Amino acid sequence: MSVTKSITRSSVTLAVALALQPALHAQSDDAGLQEIVVTAQKREQRLVDVPIAITALSGDALDRRSITDVQGLEGFTPNLQISPTPGNSTAAQIAIRGSVTNNPALTWEPAVGIYVDGVYVGKTQGSLFDLIEIDRIEVLRGPQGTLWGRNTLAGAFNIVTRSPSGEASGSATVSLGNYSALGGKVSIDFPKIGEAKVNLAVASQRRDGWVDNRVSGGDVPTPPGRAASTSELNNIDSKSIRLAVDVPVNNSFTIAYRGDYNDIDQNASHSQLYRTLLPFLAPYVSTSRQEKATVDGPSFERSETQGHSLTLEWQLNDNNTLRAITAQRKLTWEDGLDLDGSPLNIAHTQRLSDYDSVSQELQWIGDAGVLSYVAGLYYFKDDGFTDNPQGYFVEFGPAAGVRFKSQYGFKTQAFAAFGQLDYAINDQFSVTAGLRYTDEDKSIARCAGLIGVFDYVPCITRAKTSFSDTTPLAVLTWSPSDSFSGYVKYAEGFKSGGFNGEAGDPANPIPVNIAQVQTPYLPESLESMEIGGKWLFAGNRGYANVALFNNDSRDMQLSIFEAKGAANSSIKNAGEANVKGLEVELGWQFPCGTRLQFALGKMDGDFDSYVDRGVEVAFNRALVHLPETTVSATVDAALGSVLGAEARLLLDASYIDDYLLYAFPIKVLPTTDPSSVNSAVANDTRVPSHTLVNARLSFDGVEIGGARVDVALWSKNLMDKKYIQNMIDFGPGFGSLTQVYFGTPRTYGIELTGRW
* Residue ranges of domains in the chain: 3-755
* pLDDT given for residue 9 in this prediction: 42
CB burial of residue 114 (10 Å; 0-12, 13-18, 19+)? buried
Cα separation, 229 vs 438, whole angstroms: 46
- Nearest of 500, 655, 626 to residue 553 by alpha carbon: 626
Query: By three-state DSSP, how is residue 75 classified?
Result: helix
Task: Please check whether residue 286 is in contact with residue 234, taking contact to mean a CB–CB distance below 8 angstroms.
Answer: no
Q: Where are the alpha helices (DSSP H) in 87-216?
A: none
pLDDT, residue 572, reads 87
310 touches 257 (CB < 8 A): yes
Expressed in angstroms, the distance from the first to the final Cα of the chain is 46
Q: Residue 628 in contact with residue 638, Cβ under 8 Å?
A: no
- pLDDT reported for residue 256: 98
Measured CA distances, 46 to 34, 38, 157, 262, 432 (Å): 11, 6, 17, 32, 16
d(CA 199, CA 170): 9
Report the alpha-carbon distance of residue 137 to residue 121 in Å, rounded: 14
Mean pLDDT, the chain cut into blocks of 10 residues (756 residues total):
40 36 34 80 92 92 86 89 90 92 87 95 86 92 94 95 95 96 97 96 97 67 63 94 97 97 95 92 93 88 96 96 98 91 85 96 96 97 95 57 87 97 96 98 95 92 96 97 96 94 90 95 96 94 97 91 72 91 96 94 96 92 94 96 92 96 92 91 94 96 85 97 93 86 97 94
714 contacts 695 by C-beta, under 8 angstroms: yes
DSSP state at residue 451: T
**pLDDT for the residue 141:** 97
Q: How far is CA 98 from CA 81, 529, 577, 624, 660, in A?
A: 8, 15, 10, 7, 11
- Statement: 3-755 belongs to CATH 3.90.470.10: no
Name the β-bridge partners of 593: none
CB distance 509 to 548 below 8 Å:
no
Distance CA 328, CA 310 (A): 9
Residues 6+ apart with CB under 8 A from 636: 594, 595, 596, 597, 648, 649, 650
CB neighbourhood size of 447 (10 A): 19
What Cα–Cα distance (Å) separates residue 219 from each residue in 223, 229, 337, 347? Answer: 13, 10, 14, 11
The pLDDT score that the predictor gives to residue 564 is 65
**H or E segment and range at residue 587:** strand 569-589
Q: What is the pLDDT of residue 708?
A: 87
pLDDT at 218: 44
Q: Report how far residue 456's alpha carbon sits from residue 548's, in angstroms, rounded to the nearest whole number.
A: 49
Q: What are phi and psi of 690, to 5 degrees?
A: -160, 155
Residue 213's identity, in one-letter code, is N
**Percent helix, strand and coil across the chain, each rounded to 5?**
10, 60, 35
The strand pairing partners of 672, in sequence order, are none
CA 698 – CA 681 distance, rounded (Å): 47
pLDDT value of position 20:
33
User: 10 Å Cβ neighbour count for 137?
Assistant: 26
Pairing of strands 690-704, 211-213: unpaired
Strands (E), 234-319: 236-248, 253-266, 272-275, 292-293, 300-317
3-state secondary structure of 28: coil
Q: Which amino acid appears at position 78 of this protein? A: P
Q: What is the pLDDT of residue 223?
A: 60
Q: What does the DSSP assignment read for 375-436?
A: EEEEEEEEEEEEE--EEE-SSSSTTTTEEEEEEEEEEEEEEEEEEEEEEE-SSSEEEEEEEE
Q: How far apart are CA 79 and CA 166, in angstroms?
A: 39
What pLDDT is stored for residue 344 in this prediction?
Answer: 84
